Structure 1
Amino acid sequence: MAAAEIRDLSGVADFRAAEALQRTVWGEGDVPDPAELMMVIQAEGGLAAGAFVDDRLGGYIFASPNATSRVQHSQRLAVLPEMRGRGLGVALKWYQRRWCLRHGIRHVRWTFDPMRAINAALNIDRLGARSTTYLVDYYGAMGGINEGLPSDRLLVDWFLDDPVVDAKSEGRLPRENVEDCLRVRLPHDLETLIRQNRNTALAARLMLRDSLRDAFASGYGISGFDCSDGTYILTPVFAAARPQEKK
């Protein structure tokens, strides 16, 4: 299969393909961002880009301007199931970083389901995003792959000129201080757990919620993710050392 081309979406066909891709990834019960909305947001300063393989949209990213100057809200990132394992998701995020830096944006925020290890591995380990905010049932009842569980989310901050993020963007592995850390492990194979026993999945959701909220309240924040055993690494008060927003 050919290498992916990462570029901004252009034309109605691209945006329709992005709308259809959402339905495939999140399931028919989910409500996708419509093509018309994505086109308007892009025209007004947002980002809508795709990973194209043999001229087919295999993954896409959608982000909008934030009420805070030089901050972007990243709304969606998705890769078709048959296209996974090719690095399209991380390629789209590094494309987003380059796009934002060209446009004077230094801080990107988004939410993700804290129980999904594949998302934690991308957002926290691969990209260097951080979190100190747990959102309880953020979207209310949802359909598709999220049906039946509270829509809890982590709000993450991605500081694009952070030295750690810069190192990760170049494939370097920065030395991370993990002294005095807490570790919170995710349930193994969430998708199977949801299919087989939603009550057990719900109990796991509530346990993770309590663990992370207690840690945040005690002055810890998520600064790493151990992909080998699906564990969040939380270190104390890293929020105090965050880069200052540039005026």
Structure 2
Amino acid sequence: MVEIRTLQTIQELQLVQELEKTVWGMEPIPVHQTITAVKNGGLMLGAFIEDKLVGVSYSFPGYANGNTYLCSHLLGVHPDYQHKGIGRQLKEEQKEAALKLGYTMMTWTYDPLESKNAYLNLSKLGGICSTYVENCYGNMDDSLNAGLPTDRFKLEWWIDRHFVIPKSEKQFKIPLESVQEGVSKLADVESALSGIEKYDIVFVPVPAFFQELKQKDKLLVIDWRMKTRKIFQTLFAKGYVAVALEREQAGPVHFYKLVKKELMGVEKHAN
């Protein structure tokens, strides 16, 4: 059974550092920074199984355009305990704690080519995204990011409301150039985006298994990065919002679902 609790002591935050090293293989955040954050509106949540720390969520206050929000910086689960729903449990507990602290929105970044993260963030939690950041963290040499620009989606998770996604027959799916032996490649971006604004809903393919593809063909992964960068930046500039990641049962790609923001409805949660 997973127990999730707030972490605040130096000893607890040192445990977090050890988990960071295991999950990301790089230097952890200094304790003097994390303890300052959790004492000033931030949150450090730990997931425990039989008193072993197996997952962590770390966030701190953010401020922009006159609004305060919670900036969620880390979410990690020990490799031996992944794919068990612990990440989602941490996010749901983070949401409840954030609401008690008075926050209405959380934000964090993730690699848009990581479809597993996209499915959790958009389809499961209900986050939305209309911001694309090129090479957000510069060059990183850890196992997940080495050799690629660290492009990121900046996700918004409005924890006090629910977005109503419109239905429309005016849909378009960005085409693939080819699919061979389970490996896919995007078609020409310029032609795919020509006249795109006439559609209410656009589906954008991304690799189903991004990290595995990196091991097979680094040049192909770079092609995916650059083409999807152009696609998402164009769609966001034209007023589209990423609202879901729809997974294919079989095949090498999944599809982001983007809709025109002007067509979306909002339902506020009851207090």
The TM-score range, normalised by the shorter chain, is 0.7 to 0.9
**Alpha-carbon distance between aligned partners in 2 of 1:237 and 1:97, rounded to the nearest angstrom:** 24
Instruction: Please list, as runs of the form range in 1=range in 2, the aligned pairs for 1:133-212 lying within 5 A after superposition.
Output: 133-144=131-142, 145-164=144-163, 176-179=165-168, 180-212=200-232
Distance across 2 between alignment mates of 1:21 and 1:238: 42
Q: CA RMSD in A?
A: 1.9
Matched, 1:53 2:49: yes
> Which residue pairs with 1:235 in the alignment?
259
Aligned CA distance change for structure 1 residues 70 and 243 (closer, same or farther; 3 Å): farther
| Aligned residue type for 2:146 | E
For residue 119 of structure 1, give the secondary structure of its aligned residue in structure 2: helix
Offset from partner CA, 1:103-140 (integer Å, 9 cap, x none): 11101111111010110011001100000000000111
TM-score (norm 2): 0.80
Structure 1 unaligned spans of 5+: 165-174
Alpha carbons 1:178, 1:235 under 8 Å: kept: no
SS in structure 1 opposite 2:91? Answer: helix
How far is the alpha carbon of 1:239 from its aligned partner? Answer: 8.8
Relative distance call for 1:121 and 1:214 in structure 2 (3 A) is: same
Paired letter, 1:162? R
After superposing the two structures, state which structure 1 stretch, 4-13 or 54-63, moved more: 4-13
Q: Deviations over 1:36-57 (max 9, x none)?
A: 3111110111000110011011
Unaligned 5+ residue runs, structure 2?
169-199
Q: What amino acid maps onto 2:84 in structure 1? A: R
Larger Rg: 2
Is 2:88–2:120's contact at 8 Å kept on the other side of the alignment? Answer: yes
Question: Judging changes above 3 Å, is the alpha-carbon distance between structure 1 residues 201 and 42 closer, same or farther for their aligned structure 2 residues?
Answer: same
How far apart in 2 are the matches of 1:116 and 1:61? 18
Contact 1:221 1:239 in 2 (8 A): no
| Partner SS, residue 50 of structure 1 | strand
- Residue among 118, 122, 134 paired with 1:120: 118
Q: Which deviates further from its counterpart, 90-99 or 220-229?
A: 220-229
Quick check: 1:159–1:243 contact (8 Å CA) kept in 2? Answer: no
Distance across 2 between alignment mates of 1:191 and 1:39: 33
> Residues of 1 paired with 2:21 and 2:4: CA distance?
21
1:134 and 1:154 in contact (8 A); partners too: yes
Q: Which residue of structure 2 aligns with residue 218 of structure 1?
A: 238
Does 1:40 pair with 2:39? no
Do structure 1's residue 77 and structure 2's residue 101 form an aligned pair?
A: no
Question: What per-residue deviation string (whole Å, max 9, x for no partner) do you get for residues 170-227 of structure 1?
Answer: xxxxx74342310011113111111222111111111111111111112111011113
Distance in 1 between residues matched to 2:231 and 2:158, nearest whole Å: 25
In the alignment, the residues of structure 2 paired with residue 5 and residue 23 of structure 1 have an alpha-carbon distance, to the nearest angstrom, of 22
Q: TM-score under structure 1 normalisation?
A: 0.87
* Structure 1 counterpart SS, 2:150: coil
CA distance in 2, matches of 1:227, 1:71: 30
Matched residue SS, 2:99: helix
What do residues 12-44 of structure 1 show as CA deviations (whole Å, max 9, x unaligned)? 2321121111121112xx342222311111011
* AA in 2 matched with 1:74: S
State the one-letter code of the partner of 1:36. Answer: H
Corresponding residue number in structure 1 for 2:13: 15
Q: Is the 8 A contact 2:47 2:90 kept in 1?
A: yes
